[in-house]
Amino acid sequence: MCHPRFRLGASYAWRRGVRVTTEQEFREKLRKIEALFEGATTVGERDAAAAASGRIRAAIGAAEKTEAAVETQFTLPDRWSRLLFTALCRRYKLKPYRYPRQRHSTVIVRAPASLVRHMLWPEFLEIKAALDEYLEEATERIIREEVFGNAEEAEEQAG
């Protein structure tokens, strides 16, 4: 715990005009993104999220019957992107992998190309954007509240 005089608190963030996203708000945003990709538009449909995931897996199965599965290679340079992408793949019963001697930033998925192009990759990008926004807000807030009130980048000086 830091010294009390360095604790700025949420009221400081609100006075400064900074919007503080709580973890609960972030989780709700992720549910909304998931509902968007699962086709849910009402509260009742969101309650049927398990059934929607089943429909997505059925769509994957149908796509695999009509379209050959191809290897698609992704380069995900940061650990958080790889964790998110592999979790999303596993959610849909896809098996992410890489070959020996490939970089850790490489993730390969064998799935129908249309599935990757129209569902998996767009959903990943939406969730990643929300996660990046949340992590940036949380990091800046923690730095402001626990380290120092000014969390801005270093200023540029002439040479």
DSSP codes joined into one string, 5-35: GG--HHHHHHHTTPPPPPHHHHHHHHHHHHH
pLDDT grade for 61, boundaries at 50, 70 and 90 = confident
Q: Which tokens in the block code for residue 37? A: 């990709």
pTM: 0.66
Torsion sign (Cα): 69, 67, 115, 93: negative
* Of 17-26, 48-57, 60-69, 114-123, the least confident: 17-26
Domain ranges of the chain: 19-146
The pLDDT mean for the chain works out to 77
Residue 73 has pLDDT above 70, yes or no: yes
Over residues 79-94, the pLDDT tens digits come to 999 999 999 999 888 9
